[in-house]
């Protein structure tokens, strides 16, 4: 059963996984290097899907922090700081939100997000293979990892037993 406090977090996690998985699919099945409209569309679709997937992941993490009355990071380095925060346990409040493995993968996706946002004209698909591998693993494991975190901090109440 979904607790209302988690609806938007679950939606963001689902969106992150959908966009990252589609980015992987585009990368592996489409020509991103040609000069024709189809290749241009595929390359732009790939870049946007990677950006959208990571942005949805950031949104989920920020929502989790707010759910716990923990202010998300701010300032010019907030994107990197958000992952650092998600990697840390906060004593007497919560364990790390993401495992060390997922933090490394998320950081790879974060760094690629800069390429997707700033380097359209210099995008070299061969240089994206690490980010694509990270996106594939994130899409496959993020839902279970967030579900485990949720169960740890917000265990589901036992089913109601009639008297």
For the domain that residue 52 is a member of, what is the CATH number?
A: 1.20.120
User: How many CA within 13 A on the CB side of residue 59?
Assistant: 18
Q: Which residues of 54-72 are buried (b: 16+ CB within 10 A; e: fewer)?
A: bbbbbbbbbbbbebeeeee
Confidence of residue 114 (pLDDT cuts 50, 70, 90): confident
Quick check: is 90 in a domain? Answer: yes
Instruction: Count how many domains the chain has.
Output: 1
Quick check: is 32 in a domain? Answer: yes
Looking at the chain, the whole-number percentage of residues with pLDDT higher than 70 is 93
Quick check: is 159 in a domain? Answer: no
Quick check: is 52 in a domain? Answer: yes
Quick check: is 162 in a domain? Answer: no
Quick check: is 161 in a domain? Answer: no
Quick check: is 21 in a domain? Answer: yes
Domain housing 147: 4-153
Confidence of residue 1 (pLDDT cuts 50, 70, 90): very low
Read off the pTM: 0.91
């Amino acid at each position: 059963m979904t607790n209302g406090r988690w609806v938007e977090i679950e939606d963001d996690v689902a969106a992150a996984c959908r966009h990252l998985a589609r980015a992987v699919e585009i990368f592996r099945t489409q020509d991103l290097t040609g000069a024709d409209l189809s290749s241009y569309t595929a390359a732009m679709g790939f870049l946007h899907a990677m950006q959208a997937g990571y942005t949805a992941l950031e949104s989920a993490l920020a929502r989790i922090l707010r759910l716990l009355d923990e202010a998300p990071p701010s300032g010019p380095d907030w994107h990197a700081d958000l992952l650092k925060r998600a990697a840390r346990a906060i004593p007497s409040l919560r364990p790390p939100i993401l495992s060390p493995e997922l933090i490394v993968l998320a950081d790879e996706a974060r760094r690629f997000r800069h390429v997707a946002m700033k380097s359209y004209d210099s995008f070299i698909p061969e240089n994206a293979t690490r980010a694509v591998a990270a996106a594939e693993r994130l899409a496959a494991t993020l839902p279970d990892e967030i579900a485990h975190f949720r169960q740890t901090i917000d265990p589901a109440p036992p089913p109601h037993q009639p008297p």
